[in-house]
């Protein structure tokens, strides 16, 4: 195993973690502020990817597609919150789970009707094609841009939450929604805005990832599971926790899939080492989550600490 290959996989894990952060940041905001379990968050990720691919194909411009995908997911989120989810805030979590699971089915079939059942492919923008020499290895420029973009969005979101009036209202809503409603804040408008922000972040993640994998129906569900793992590890409602949890999950998952088969290859034949290593690698993040739940049930950086 060369240092160049190790470094490349580490960068892949960092890129994967930052895309997971975009997905999980919106999910943790919605759950922390609104107390809503949104299983349809992965479908908004899928919508962002599909609208981005369709708009980029129609206009020939990736950046217009990126804007279209993010805006479409945010608009869909606002519509879903206003028309459906607003009626569920005082209901049991089981009702929320059932309703948002139904939304998964509706959005999945709707996507098939609008875009067709076949995968779409999104080309990397010309500006970000090629590789960059990082000393140890040549690394794809687009993946490097994803790392920078993820860090920039994380910084912007952190500043929004900590330095703006909207951020103050969001943090107040996490702690005591009845009090801020009594102080004159339009709690319904705040909820719609928070949900649209979370949906837009999910759509943005889907649009960005669409250039490195096929855009297909159902692509959001595996990422949704990982996003829930992230917010459990980081702490529900915490942007800092989402960032730390996403980086942990991204790097541990990627490096586990890279290192474990090689480690088992030292004393097993290659085919067995690949099977056993891949199976154990897929368990690592869930073992980490279980350990965090045992030692720190509220997560590493709980919002109300």
CATH of residue 14 = 1.10.3470
Would residue 303 count as lying in a domain?
no
**Domains identified in the chain, total number:** 1
For residues 73 and 41, give the distance between their C-alpha atoms in angstroms, rounded to a whole number: 10
Reported for 288-295, long-range contacts at CB under 8 A and 24+ positions apart, including other chains, are 288/233, 288/248, 288/249, 288/252, 289/229, 289/232, 289/233, 292/232, 292/233, 293/232
pLDDT greater than 90 at residue 27: no
Q: Domain of residue 221: give its range.
A: 3-124+138-295
Would residue 186 count as lying in a domain?
yes
Q: Averaged over 7-33, what is the pLDDT?
A: 88
Would residue 185 count as lying in a domain?
yes
Would residue 259 count as lying in a domain?
yes
pLDDT greater than 60 at residue 305: no
Q: How does DSSP classify residue 120?
A: B
- Express as a percent the part of the chain with pLDDT over 70: 95
pLDDT greater than 80 at residue 182: no
Which tens digit of pLDDT belongs to each residue from 243-265?
A: 999 999 999 989 888 888 888 87
* C-alpha dihedral sign at 67, 108, 120, 8: positive
pTM: 0.90
Among 12-16, 88-92, 252-256, whose mean pLDDT is lowest?
88-92
Would residue 149 count as lying in a domain?
yes
Q: Averaged over 159-164, what is the pLDDT?
A: 84
Reported for 137-141, long-range contacts at CB under 8 A and 24+ positions apart, including other chains, are 137/4, 137/5, 137/7, 137/8, 139/8, 139/11
Would residue 133 count as lying in a domain?
no
Would residue 304 count as lying in a domain?
no
- Binned at pLDDT 50, 70 and 90, residue 200 comes out as very high
Structure tokens at 278: 């891949």
Q: Averaged over 198-218, what is the pLDDT?
A: 90
Would residue 300 count as lying in a domain?
no
pLDDT for position 3: 80
């Amino acid at each position: 195993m060369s240092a160049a290959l190790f470094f490349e996989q580490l960068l892949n894990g960092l890129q994967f973690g930052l895309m997971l952060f975009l997905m999980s940041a919106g999910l943790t905001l919605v759950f922390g502020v609104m107390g809503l379990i949104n299983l349809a968050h992965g479908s908004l990720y899928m919508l962002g990817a599909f609208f981005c691919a369709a708009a980029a194909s129609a206009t020939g411009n990736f950046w217009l597609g990126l804007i279209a995908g993010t805006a479409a997911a945010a608009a869909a989120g606002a519509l879903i919150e206003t028309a459906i989810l607003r009626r569920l805030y005082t209901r049991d979590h089981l009702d929320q789970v059932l309703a948002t699971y139904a939304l998964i089915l509706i959005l999945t079939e709707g996507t098939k009707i609008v875009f067709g059942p076949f995968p779409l492919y999104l080309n990397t923008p010309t500006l970000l094609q090629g590789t960059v020499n990082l000393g140890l290895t040549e690394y794809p420029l687009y993946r490097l841009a994803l790392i920078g973009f993820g860090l920039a969005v994380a910084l912007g979101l952190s500043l929004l939450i900590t330095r703006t009036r909207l951020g103050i209202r969001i943090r107040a809503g996490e702690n005591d929604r009845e009090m801020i409603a009594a102080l004159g804040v339009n709690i319904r408008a705040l909820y719609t805005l928070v949900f649209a922000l979370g949906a837009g972040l999910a759509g943005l993640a889907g649009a960005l990832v669409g250039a490195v994998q096929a855009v297909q129906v159902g692509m959001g569900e595996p990422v949704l599971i990982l996003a829930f793992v992230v917010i459990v590890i980081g702490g529900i409602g915490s942007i800092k926790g989402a960032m730390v949890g996403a980086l942990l999950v991204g790097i541990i998952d990627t490096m586990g899939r890279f290192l474990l088969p090689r480690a088992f290859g030292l004393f097993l034949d290659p085919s067995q080492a690949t099977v056993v290593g891949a199976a154990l690698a897929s368990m690592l993040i869930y073992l980490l989550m279980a350990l965090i739940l045992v030692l720190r049930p509220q997560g590493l950086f709980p919002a109300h600490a």
